[in-house]
Structure 1
Amino acid sequence: MIMESKNRRGIFMREIKKTEPLHSQVYHIVKEMIMEGKYQPGERLVETKVAENLGVSRGTVREAFRMLTKDDLLAQKENSLFVYDPEAQDILDIYECRKSLESLSAKLAAQNIAAEQLDQLEQIITESKKALALPDTQELTSLNQKFHDTIAFASRNKQLIQLFEVINAKVLYIRNCILKERSESFAVLVNDHEEIFHALKERDPAKAQEKMEAHIQRSLKVANAALNKQMGDPESSLG
Protein backbone atom coordinates (compact mmCIF):
# COMPACT_ATOMS: atom_id res chain seq x y z
CA MET A 1 0.00 0.00 0.00
CA ILE A 2 1.29 3.47 -0.90
CA MET A 3 1.41 5.59 2.22
CA GLU A 4 1.83 9.35 2.58
CA SER A 5 4.74 11.13 4.24
CA LYS A 6 5.79 14.74 4.56
CA ASN A 7 9.03 15.67 2.82
CA ARG A 8 11.39 18.58 3.36
CA ARG A 9 9.23 20.83 1.17
CA GLY A 10 6.35 20.30 3.58
CA ILE A 11 4.47 18.40 0.88
CA PHE A 12 2.69 15.13 1.54
CA MET A 13 3.91 12.55 -0.97
CA ARG A 14 3.01 8.94 -1.57
CA GLU A 15 5.68 6.47 -0.52
CA ILE A 16 7.07 3.86 -2.87
CA LYS A 17 5.66 0.31 -2.99
CA LYS A 18 8.38 -2.24 -3.63
CA THR A 19 5.93 -4.60 -5.36
CA GLU A 20 5.52 -2.43 -8.50
CA PRO A 21 8.02 -1.08 -11.08
CA LEU A 22 9.70 1.88 -9.42
CA HIS A 23 9.98 4.10 -12.48
CA SER A 24 6.24 3.68 -13.12
CA GLN A 25 5.40 4.61 -9.53
CA VAL A 26 7.68 7.65 -9.61
CA TYR A 27 6.08 8.69 -12.91
CA HIS A 28 2.59 8.56 -11.42
CA ILE A 29 3.62 10.26 -8.17
CA VAL A 30 5.39 13.17 -9.87
CA LYS A 31 2.62 13.45 -12.47
CA GLU A 32 0.03 13.67 -9.70
CA MET A 33 2.04 16.40 -7.99
CA ILE A 34 2.29 18.35 -11.26
CA MET A 35 -1.43 17.94 -11.97
CA GLU A 36 -2.34 19.08 -8.46
CA GLY A 37 -0.08 22.12 -8.64
CA LYS A 38 2.33 20.94 -5.95
CA TYR A 39 5.03 21.54 -8.52
CA GLN A 40 4.35 24.94 -10.04
CA PRO A 41 4.35 25.78 -13.78
CA GLY A 42 7.91 26.67 -14.79
CA GLU A 43 9.46 25.11 -11.68
CA ARG A 44 12.75 23.30 -12.24
CA LEU A 45 12.82 19.64 -11.20
CA VAL A 46 16.13 18.13 -10.14
CA GLU A 47 16.72 14.38 -10.38
CA THR A 48 18.78 14.17 -7.20
CA LYS A 49 16.22 16.00 -5.06
CA VAL A 50 13.26 13.95 -6.30
CA ALA A 51 15.27 10.74 -5.91
CA GLU A 52 16.20 11.69 -2.34
CA ASN A 53 12.61 12.62 -1.45
CA LEU A 54 11.25 9.31 -2.75
CA GLY A 55 14.13 7.11 -1.67
CA VAL A 56 14.90 5.78 -5.16
CA SER A 57 17.85 5.94 -7.55
CA ARG A 58 18.54 8.80 -9.94
CA GLY A 59 18.18 6.32 -12.81
CA THR A 60 14.63 5.51 -11.72
CA VAL A 61 13.75 9.20 -11.57
CA ARG A 62 15.44 9.79 -14.93
CA GLU A 63 13.19 7.16 -16.56
CA ALA A 64 10.09 8.70 -14.94
CA PHE A 65 11.16 12.14 -16.15
CA ARG A 66 11.59 10.73 -19.65
CA MET A 67 7.97 9.52 -19.55
CA LEU A 68 6.76 12.90 -18.29
CA THR A 69 8.71 14.66 -21.03
CA LYS A 70 7.01 12.42 -23.58
CA ASP A 71 3.67 13.55 -22.06
CA ASP A 72 4.87 17.18 -22.49
CA LEU A 73 4.36 17.76 -18.76
CA LEU A 74 8.09 18.40 -18.43
CA ALA A 75 10.07 20.53 -20.88
CA GLN A 76 13.82 20.49 -21.35
CA LYS A 77 15.71 23.78 -21.58
CA GLU A 78 19.43 23.31 -22.11
CA ASN A 79 20.37 20.69 -19.49
CA SER A 80 17.47 21.26 -17.08
CA LEU A 81 13.86 20.06 -16.88
CA PHE A 82 10.99 22.38 -16.01
CA VAL A 83 7.29 21.82 -15.32
CA TYR A 84 5.15 22.60 -18.35
CA ASP A 85 4.22 26.28 -18.36
CA PRO A 86 1.69 26.82 -21.17
CA GLU A 87 1.65 30.04 -23.13
CA ALA A 88 -1.55 31.61 -24.40
CA GLN A 89 -1.07 30.06 -27.85
CA ASP A 90 -0.55 26.61 -26.31
CA ILE A 91 -3.91 26.86 -24.55
CA LEU A 92 -5.64 28.05 -27.70
CA ASP A 93 -4.14 25.16 -29.70
CA ILE A 94 -5.16 22.58 -27.08
CA TYR A 95 -8.72 23.85 -26.85
CA GLU A 96 -9.09 24.01 -30.64
CA CYS A 97 -8.08 20.35 -30.82
CA ARG A 98 -10.34 19.54 -27.91
CA LYS A 99 -13.30 21.31 -29.52
CA SER A 100 -12.98 19.22 -32.69
CA LEU A 101 -12.41 15.92 -30.89
CA GLU A 102 -15.10 16.31 -28.25
CA SER A 103 -17.69 17.65 -30.67
CA LEU A 104 -17.18 14.53 -32.76
CA SER A 105 -17.27 12.32 -29.67
CA ALA A 106 -20.64 13.85 -28.67
CA LYS A 107 -22.00 13.31 -32.17
CA LEU A 108 -20.94 9.65 -32.16
CA ALA A 109 -22.06 9.15 -28.55
CA ALA A 110 -25.58 10.29 -29.48
CA GLN A 111 -25.67 7.31 -31.85
CA ASN A 112 -23.86 4.75 -29.70
CA ILE A 113 -24.28 5.60 -26.01
CA ALA A 114 -25.56 2.80 -23.79
CA ALA A 115 -28.39 3.22 -21.28
CA GLU A 116 -26.02 2.70 -18.33
CA GLN A 117 -23.74 5.45 -19.64
CA LEU A 118 -26.71 7.83 -19.82
CA ASP A 119 -27.45 6.91 -16.20
CA GLN A 120 -23.83 7.66 -15.30
CA LEU A 121 -24.01 11.10 -16.94
CA GLU A 122 -27.25 11.90 -15.14
CA GLN A 123 -25.68 10.88 -11.81
CA ILE A 124 -22.61 13.02 -12.53
CA ILE A 125 -24.84 16.04 -13.15
CA THR A 126 -26.77 15.40 -9.92
CA GLU A 127 -23.52 15.17 -7.94
CA SER A 128 -22.18 18.28 -9.70
CA LYS A 129 -25.17 20.31 -8.55
CA LYS A 130 -24.56 19.15 -4.97
CA ALA A 131 -20.88 20.13 -5.26
CA LEU A 132 -21.91 23.54 -6.63
CA ALA A 133 -24.00 24.21 -3.54
CA LEU A 134 -21.02 23.76 -1.19
CA PRO A 135 -19.02 24.83 -3.31
CA ASP A 136 -16.44 22.04 -3.74
CA THR A 137 -14.12 23.02 -6.59
CA GLN A 138 -12.00 19.87 -6.38
CA GLU A 139 -15.06 17.63 -6.62
CA LEU A 140 -16.47 19.71 -9.48
CA THR A 141 -13.21 19.35 -11.40
CA SER A 142 -13.24 15.58 -10.87
CA LEU A 143 -16.88 15.26 -11.93
CA ASN A 144 -16.25 17.44 -14.97
CA GLN A 145 -13.50 15.07 -16.08
CA LYS A 146 -15.74 12.03 -15.54
CA PHE A 147 -18.47 13.64 -17.65
CA HIS A 148 -16.18 14.19 -20.63
CA ASP A 149 -14.48 10.79 -20.22
CA THR A 150 -17.86 9.02 -20.26
CA ILE A 151 -18.89 10.72 -23.50
CA ALA A 152 -15.57 9.95 -25.16
CA PHE A 153 -15.87 6.24 -24.31
CA ALA A 154 -19.54 6.27 -25.37
CA SER A 155 -18.42 7.26 -28.89
CA ARG A 156 -17.06 3.70 -29.29
CA ASN A 157 -14.42 5.05 -31.66
CA LYS A 158 -11.06 3.64 -30.53
CA GLN A 159 -8.96 6.08 -32.55
CA LEU A 160 -10.88 9.07 -31.19
CA ILE A 161 -10.51 7.80 -27.63
CA GLN A 162 -6.74 7.44 -28.07
CA LEU A 163 -6.44 10.98 -29.44
CA PHE A 164 -8.66 12.26 -26.63
CA GLU A 165 -6.38 10.69 -24.03
CA VAL A 166 -3.30 12.32 -25.58
CA ILE A 167 -4.51 15.84 -24.77
CA ASN A 168 -6.51 14.89 -21.69
CA ALA A 169 -3.60 15.31 -19.26
CA LYS A 170 -2.86 18.80 -20.57
CA VAL A 171 -6.52 19.82 -20.36
CA LEU A 172 -6.72 18.65 -16.73
CA TYR A 173 -3.43 20.40 -15.96
CA ILE A 174 -4.76 23.66 -17.39
CA ARG A 175 -7.93 23.29 -15.31
CA ASN A 176 -5.97 22.67 -12.11
CA CYS A 177 -3.30 25.32 -12.61
CA ILE A 178 -5.19 28.08 -14.43
CA LEU A 179 -8.88 27.59 -13.65
CA LYS A 180 -8.56 26.69 -9.97
CA GLU A 181 -9.62 30.20 -8.92
CA ARG A 182 -12.53 30.35 -11.39
CA SER A 183 -15.12 28.52 -9.30
CA GLU A 184 -17.82 30.96 -10.41
CA SER A 185 -17.64 29.49 -13.93
CA PHE A 186 -18.72 26.01 -12.85
CA ALA A 187 -22.44 26.85 -12.65
CA VAL A 188 -22.49 27.75 -16.36
CA LEU A 189 -20.44 24.70 -17.32
CA VAL A 190 -22.69 22.33 -15.35
CA ASN A 191 -25.69 23.84 -17.15
CA ASP A 192 -23.88 23.11 -20.43
CA HIS A 193 -23.42 19.50 -19.30
CA GLU A 194 -27.14 19.19 -18.70
CA GLU A 195 -27.92 20.45 -22.22
CA ILE A 196 -25.41 18.02 -23.72
CA PHE A 197 -26.92 15.19 -21.68
CA HIS A 198 -30.42 15.93 -22.97
CA ALA A 199 -29.17 15.98 -26.56
CA LEU A 200 -27.55 12.57 -26.01
CA LYS A 201 -30.68 11.21 -24.36
CA GLU A 202 -32.71 12.40 -27.36
CA ARG A 203 -30.23 10.58 -29.62
CA ASP A 204 -29.75 13.78 -31.63
CA PRO A 205 -26.20 13.74 -33.09
CA ALA A 206 -26.33 17.24 -34.61
CA LYS A 207 -27.64 18.82 -31.41
CA ALA A 208 -25.13 16.95 -29.23
CA GLN A 209 -22.28 18.11 -31.48
CA GLU A 210 -23.52 21.71 -31.42
CA LYS A 211 -23.93 21.77 -27.64
CA MET A 212 -20.49 20.26 -27.02
CA GLU A 213 -18.79 22.69 -29.41
CA ALA A 214 -20.44 25.66 -27.66
CA HIS A 215 -19.42 24.20 -24.29
CA ILE A 216 -15.74 23.86 -25.21
CA GLN A 217 -15.73 27.36 -26.70
CA ARG A 218 -17.15 28.69 -23.43
CA SER A 219 -14.47 26.79 -21.49
CA LEU A 220 -11.82 28.42 -23.67
CA LYS A 221 -13.19 31.87 -22.80
CA VAL A 222 -13.00 30.98 -19.09
CA ALA A 223 -9.39 29.84 -19.50
CA ASN A 224 -8.61 32.99 -21.46
CA ALA A 225 -10.06 35.25 -18.76
CA ALA A 226 -8.20 33.37 -16.01
CA LEU A 227 -4.91 33.55 -17.90
CA ASN A 228 -5.32 37.26 -18.59
CA LYS A 229 -6.02 37.86 -14.90
CA GLN A 230 -2.82 36.02 -13.95
CA MET A 231 -0.90 38.09 -16.51
CA GLY A 232 -2.47 41.30 -15.21
CA ASP A 233 -3.70 42.19 -18.69
CA PRO A 234 -7.52 42.24 -18.83
CA GLU A 235 -7.45 43.59 -22.37
CA SER A 236 -5.39 40.80 -23.94
CA SER A 237 -7.01 37.87 -25.74
CA LEU A 238 -6.12 34.43 -26.99
CA GLY A 239 -7.88 35.14 -30.25
Structure 2
Amino acid sequence: MDNFKLDKPTPYYLQFYSQLKKMIFDGVFKPGERLNETQLAKDFGVSRSPIREAMRLLEKDGLLTADDRNGFVIYSLSIKDVEEIYKIRISLESLAVELVIDEAAESEIERIEQQLRETEEAIHKGAKETEIISLNETFHQLLVDFSRNSQLAKLLEHVNVLIHFCRVLNFKGDDRAEVILHEHRKVFEEIKKGDKAKAVQYMTEHLQHDVEHLKGVLKAEETDESSRLTR
Protein backbone atom coordinates (compact mmCIF):
# COMPACT_ATOMS: atom_id res chain seq x y z
CA MET A 1 0.00 0.00 0.00
CA ASP A 2 3.06 2.26 0.28
CA ASN A 3 3.02 2.97 -3.49
CA PHE A 4 -0.64 4.03 -3.52
CA LYS A 5 -1.15 7.79 -4.02
CA LEU A 6 -4.45 9.65 -4.04
CA ASP A 7 -5.57 11.53 -7.16
CA LYS A 8 -7.52 14.49 -5.77
CA PRO A 9 -9.76 15.22 -8.82
CA THR A 10 -11.19 11.67 -8.67
CA PRO A 11 -13.55 10.90 -5.74
CA TYR A 12 -11.67 9.01 -3.06
CA TYR A 13 -14.12 6.13 -2.91
CA LEU A 14 -13.64 5.43 -6.65
CA GLN A 15 -9.87 5.41 -6.21
CA PHE A 16 -10.16 2.96 -3.32
CA TYR A 17 -12.60 0.88 -5.35
CA SER A 18 -10.06 0.56 -8.20
CA GLN A 19 -7.18 -0.13 -5.82
CA LEU A 20 -9.03 -2.76 -3.77
CA LYS A 21 -10.26 -4.47 -6.94
CA LYS A 22 -6.68 -4.60 -8.24
CA MET A 23 -5.49 -6.05 -4.93
CA ILE A 24 -8.16 -8.76 -5.13
CA PHE A 25 -7.19 -9.65 -8.70
CA ASP A 26 -3.48 -9.59 -7.80
CA GLY A 27 -4.07 -11.99 -4.92
CA VAL A 28 -3.12 -9.55 -2.15
CA PHE A 29 -6.46 -10.45 -0.59
CA LYS A 30 -7.31 -14.14 -0.77
CA PRO A 31 -10.72 -15.74 -1.51
CA GLY A 32 -12.63 -16.15 1.73
CA GLU A 33 -10.55 -13.50 3.53
CA ARG A 34 -12.52 -11.03 5.65
CA LEU A 35 -11.90 -7.34 4.99
CA ASN A 36 -11.80 -5.05 8.00
CA GLU A 37 -13.12 -1.61 7.10
CA THR A 38 -11.44 0.05 10.09
CA GLN A 39 -8.07 -1.56 9.38
CA LEU A 40 -8.21 -0.61 5.69
CA ALA A 41 -9.01 3.00 6.59
CA LYS A 42 -6.03 2.98 8.96
CA ASP A 43 -3.74 1.40 6.33
CA PHE A 44 -4.70 4.00 3.71
CA GLY A 45 -4.72 6.88 6.21
CA VAL A 46 -8.31 7.98 5.51
CA SER A 47 -11.73 7.94 7.14
CA ARG A 48 -13.92 4.84 6.94
CA SER A 49 -16.54 6.52 4.71
CA PRO A 50 -14.78 6.24 1.29
CA ILE A 51 -13.61 2.71 2.15
CA ARG A 52 -17.20 1.74 2.97
CA GLU A 53 -18.46 3.18 -0.35
CA ALA A 54 -15.72 1.34 -2.27
CA MET A 55 -16.63 -1.94 -0.58
CA ARG A 56 -20.28 -1.48 -1.49
CA LEU A 57 -19.29 -1.10 -5.15
CA LEU A 58 -17.19 -4.27 -4.91
CA GLU A 59 -20.17 -6.06 -3.39
CA LYS A 60 -22.29 -4.90 -6.35
CA ASP A 61 -19.63 -6.34 -8.70
CA GLY A 62 -19.78 -9.64 -6.83
CA LEU A 63 -16.18 -9.50 -5.60
CA LEU A 64 -17.26 -9.05 -1.97
CA THR A 65 -20.05 -10.77 -0.09
CA ALA A 66 -21.59 -9.53 3.16
CA ASP A 67 -20.98 -11.74 6.19
CA ASP A 68 -23.04 -12.18 9.37
CA ARG A 69 -20.91 -9.67 11.29
CA ASN A 70 -21.75 -6.63 9.12
CA GLY A 71 -18.47 -7.02 7.26
CA PHE A 72 -17.35 -8.30 3.88
CA VAL A 73 -15.54 -11.41 2.68
CA ILE A 74 -13.57 -11.80 -0.56
CA TYR A 75 -15.58 -13.73 -3.14
CA SER A 76 -14.61 -17.39 -3.53
CA LEU A 77 -15.21 -18.77 -7.01
CA SER A 78 -17.00 -22.12 -6.94
CA ILE A 79 -17.39 -24.77 -9.62
CA LYS A 80 -21.10 -23.92 -9.81
CA ASP A 81 -20.21 -20.25 -10.38
CA VAL A 82 -17.85 -21.23 -13.21
CA GLU A 83 -20.56 -23.31 -14.87
CA GLU A 84 -23.14 -20.52 -14.60
CA ILE A 85 -20.80 -17.74 -15.77
CA TYR A 86 -19.60 -19.74 -18.76
CA LYS A 87 -23.10 -20.75 -19.85
CA ILE A 88 -23.74 -17.02 -20.23
CA ARG A 89 -20.41 -16.46 -22.00
CA ILE A 90 -20.90 -19.33 -24.44
CA SER A 91 -24.36 -18.11 -25.42
CA LEU A 92 -23.44 -14.44 -25.79
CA GLU A 93 -19.96 -14.76 -27.29
CA SER A 94 -21.12 -17.37 -29.80
CA LEU A 95 -23.72 -14.85 -30.92
CA ALA A 96 -21.02 -12.15 -31.03
CA VAL A 97 -18.94 -14.31 -33.37
CA GLU A 98 -21.86 -14.71 -35.78
CA LEU A 99 -22.60 -10.97 -35.71
CA VAL A 100 -18.97 -10.04 -36.32
CA ILE A 101 -19.05 -12.02 -39.55
CA ASP A 102 -22.11 -10.02 -40.62
CA GLU A 103 -21.21 -6.62 -39.25
CA ALA A 104 -17.45 -6.08 -38.97
CA ALA A 105 -15.65 -3.94 -41.52
CA GLU A 106 -12.48 -5.23 -43.17
CA SER A 107 -10.39 -2.83 -41.08
CA GLU A 108 -11.94 -4.30 -37.93
CA ILE A 109 -11.11 -7.84 -38.99
CA GLU A 110 -7.56 -6.63 -39.52
CA ARG A 111 -7.60 -5.09 -36.02
CA ILE A 112 -8.52 -8.48 -34.50
CA GLU A 113 -5.69 -10.12 -36.45
CA GLN A 114 -3.28 -7.44 -35.26
CA GLN A 115 -4.37 -8.08 -31.67
CA LEU A 116 -3.51 -11.77 -32.05
CA ARG A 117 -0.05 -10.83 -33.35
CA GLU A 118 0.43 -8.53 -30.35
CA THR A 119 -0.48 -11.37 -28.02
CA GLU A 120 1.94 -13.74 -29.74
CA GLU A 121 4.74 -11.16 -29.48
CA ALA A 122 3.99 -10.61 -25.79
CA ILE A 123 4.16 -14.35 -25.10
CA HIS A 124 7.44 -14.75 -27.00
CA LYS A 125 9.13 -11.86 -25.19
CA GLY A 126 8.06 -13.29 -21.82
CA ALA A 127 5.64 -10.50 -20.90
CA LYS A 128 4.03 -10.43 -17.49
CA GLU A 129 1.01 -12.65 -17.01
CA THR A 130 -1.18 -9.60 -16.32
CA GLU A 131 -0.27 -8.15 -19.75
CA ILE A 132 -1.14 -11.37 -21.57
CA ILE A 133 -4.41 -11.71 -19.66
CA SER A 134 -5.26 -8.16 -20.69
CA LEU A 135 -4.47 -8.94 -24.34
CA ASN A 136 -6.67 -12.04 -24.25
CA GLU A 137 -9.42 -9.97 -22.72
CA THR A 138 -9.07 -7.50 -25.58
CA PHE A 139 -9.60 -10.28 -28.15
CA HIS A 140 -12.97 -11.14 -26.65
CA GLN A 141 -13.90 -7.48 -26.19
CA LEU A 142 -13.15 -6.68 -29.84
CA LEU A 143 -15.54 -9.41 -30.92
CA VAL A 144 -18.26 -7.91 -28.73
CA ASP A 145 -17.52 -4.36 -29.92
CA PHE A 146 -17.51 -5.31 -33.59
CA SER A 147 -20.75 -7.28 -33.24
CA ARG A 148 -22.54 -3.90 -33.24
CA ASN A 149 -25.01 -5.17 -30.64
CA SER A 150 -25.20 -2.84 -27.64
CA GLN A 151 -27.63 -5.05 -25.72
CA LEU A 152 -25.28 -8.02 -25.99
CA ALA A 153 -22.47 -5.81 -24.68
CA LYS A 154 -24.58 -4.66 -21.73
CA LEU A 155 -25.47 -8.24 -20.78
CA LEU A 156 -21.81 -9.26 -20.77
CA GLU A 157 -20.84 -6.14 -18.85
CA HIS A 158 -22.90 -7.35 -15.88
CA VAL A 159 -20.62 -10.36 -15.43
CA ASN A 160 -17.36 -8.90 -16.77
CA VAL A 161 -15.76 -8.50 -13.33
CA LEU A 162 -16.39 -12.15 -12.48
CA ILE A 163 -15.22 -13.17 -15.97
CA HIS A 164 -11.95 -11.35 -15.29
CA PHE A 165 -11.70 -13.20 -11.96
CA CYS A 166 -12.03 -16.44 -13.95
CA ARG A 167 -9.40 -15.31 -16.49
CA VAL A 168 -6.81 -14.77 -13.76
CA LEU A 169 -7.40 -18.26 -12.36
CA ASN A 170 -7.53 -19.72 -15.86
CA PHE A 171 -3.85 -18.87 -16.38
CA LYS A 172 -2.71 -21.31 -13.72
CA GLY A 173 -0.88 -24.23 -15.29
CA ASP A 174 1.74 -24.82 -17.98
CA ASP A 175 1.46 -23.35 -21.49
CA ARG A 176 -1.92 -21.75 -20.86
CA ALA A 177 -1.00 -18.60 -22.83
CA GLU A 178 -0.05 -20.63 -25.92
CA VAL A 179 -3.11 -22.86 -25.67
CA ILE A 180 -5.48 -19.90 -25.39
CA LEU A 181 -3.80 -18.06 -28.28
CA HIS A 182 -4.06 -21.17 -30.47
CA GLU A 183 -7.78 -21.44 -29.74
CA HIS A 184 -8.32 -17.72 -30.41
CA ARG A 185 -6.60 -18.12 -33.77
CA LYS A 186 -8.91 -21.01 -34.71
CA VAL A 187 -11.94 -18.83 -33.98
CA PHE A 188 -10.47 -15.93 -35.94
CA GLU A 189 -9.61 -17.99 -39.03
CA GLU A 190 -13.25 -19.05 -39.35
CA ILE A 191 -14.41 -15.46 -38.85
CA LYS A 192 -12.08 -14.41 -41.65
CA LYS A 193 -13.51 -17.14 -43.90
CA GLY A 194 -17.06 -16.13 -42.99
CA ASP A 195 -17.92 -19.61 -41.71
CA LYS A 196 -20.40 -18.94 -38.88
CA ALA A 197 -20.94 -22.58 -37.93
CA LYS A 198 -17.24 -23.31 -37.54
CA ALA A 199 -16.53 -20.01 -35.77
CA VAL A 200 -19.29 -20.71 -33.24
CA GLN A 201 -18.08 -24.30 -32.83
CA TYR A 202 -14.52 -23.20 -32.06
CA MET A 203 -15.62 -20.42 -29.70
CA THR A 204 -17.84 -22.88 -27.84
CA GLU A 205 -15.02 -25.42 -27.61
CA HIS A 206 -12.59 -22.74 -26.45
CA LEU A 207 -14.86 -21.62 -23.60
CA GLN A 208 -15.72 -25.20 -22.65
CA HIS A 209 -11.98 -25.95 -22.40
CA ASP A 210 -11.71 -22.96 -20.05
CA VAL A 211 -14.49 -24.41 -17.89
CA GLU A 212 -12.77 -27.77 -17.57
CA HIS A 213 -9.42 -26.12 -16.81
CA LEU A 214 -10.96 -23.85 -14.16
CA LYS A 215 -12.69 -26.80 -12.52
CA GLY A 216 -9.34 -28.56 -12.32
CA VAL A 217 -7.69 -25.49 -10.77
CA LEU A 218 -10.44 -25.13 -8.17
CA LYS A 219 -10.37 -28.81 -7.27
CA ALA A 220 -6.58 -28.68 -6.89
CA GLU A 221 -6.89 -25.65 -4.62
CA GLU A 222 -9.50 -27.45 -2.50
CA THR A 223 -7.18 -30.46 -2.17
CA ASP A 224 -4.23 -28.24 -1.21
CA GLU A 225 -6.32 -26.42 1.39
CA SER A 226 -7.57 -29.72 2.88
CA SER A 227 -4.00 -31.01 3.07
CA ARG A 228 -2.84 -27.84 4.77
CA LEU A 229 -5.61 -28.00 7.39
CA THR A 230 -4.91 -31.65 8.25
CA ARG A 231 -1.18 -31.17 8.85
TM-score, structure 2 normalization: 0.89
Per the TM alignment, residue 103 of structure 1 is displaced from its structure 2 partner at its CA by: 0.8
Q: Supply the distance in 2 between the matched residues of 1:57 and 1:205 (Cα, whole angstroms).
A: 54
Determine the structure 2 residue equivalent to 1:227: 218
For this pair of structures, how many residues does the alignment match?
Answer: 222
Contact 1:106 1:151 in 2 (8 A): yes
Worse-matched range after superposition: 162-171 or 179-188? 179-188
Letter in 2 for 1:160: L
Equivalent of 1:87, from 78, 96, 105? 78
Query: What does residue range 7-156 of structure 1 map to in structure 2 within 5 Å?
Result: 12=3, 14-78=4-68, 79-136=70-127, 137-156=129-148
Per the TM alignment, residue 55 of structure 1 is displaced from its structure 2 partner at its CA by: 2.7
Give the match's secondary structure for 2:27.
Answer: coil
Per the TM alignment, residue 162 of structure 1 is displaced from its structure 2 partner at its CA by: 0.7
Q: Does 1:200 align with 2:191?
A: yes
Determine the structure 1 residue equivalent to 2:164: 172
Q: Supply the distance in 2 between the matched residues of 1:53 and 1:110 (Cα, whole angstroms).
A: 50
Per the TM alignment, residue 134 of structure 1 is displaced from its structure 2 partner at its CA by: 4.3
Q: Supply the distance in 2 between the matched residues of 1:130 and 1:63 (Cα, whole angstroms).
A: 40
Equivalent of 1:182, from 173, 189, 193? 173
Contact 2:63 2:162 in 1 (8 A): yes
Structure 1 unaligned segments of length 5 or more: list them: 7-11, 234-239
Worse-matched range after superposition: 30-39 or 132-141? 132-141
Cα RMSD of the aligned pairs, angstroms, is: 1.7
Measured at CA, do residues 160 and 192 of structure 1 come closer, stay the same or move farther in structure 2, by a change above 3 Å?
same
Q: Supply the distance in 2 between the matched residues of 1:104 and 1:25 (Cα, whole angstroms).
A: 35
Give the match's secondary structure for 2:46.
Answer: coil
- Percent sequence identity is 33
Q: Supply the distance in 1 between the matched residues of 2:123 and 2:63 (Cα, whole angstroms).
A: 30
Structure 2 unaligned segments of length 5 or more: list them: 225-231
TM-score, structure 1 normalization: 0.86
Contact 1:124 1:147 in 2 (8 A): yes
Contact 1:73 1:83 in 2 (8 A): yes
Q: Supply the distance in 1 between the matched residues of 2:81 and 2:21 (Cα, whole angstroms).
A: 19
Contact 1:42 1:85 in 2 (8 A): yes
Contact 1:185 1:222 in 2 (8 A): no
Letter in 1 for 2:80: Q
Where has structure 1 moved over 3 Å in runs of 4 or more?
none
Per the TM alignment, residue 97 of structure 1 is displaced from its structure 2 partner at its CA by: 1.2
Letter in 2 for 1:228: K
Q: Supply the distance in 1 between the matched residues of 2:47 and 2:105 (Cα, whole angstroms).
A: 46
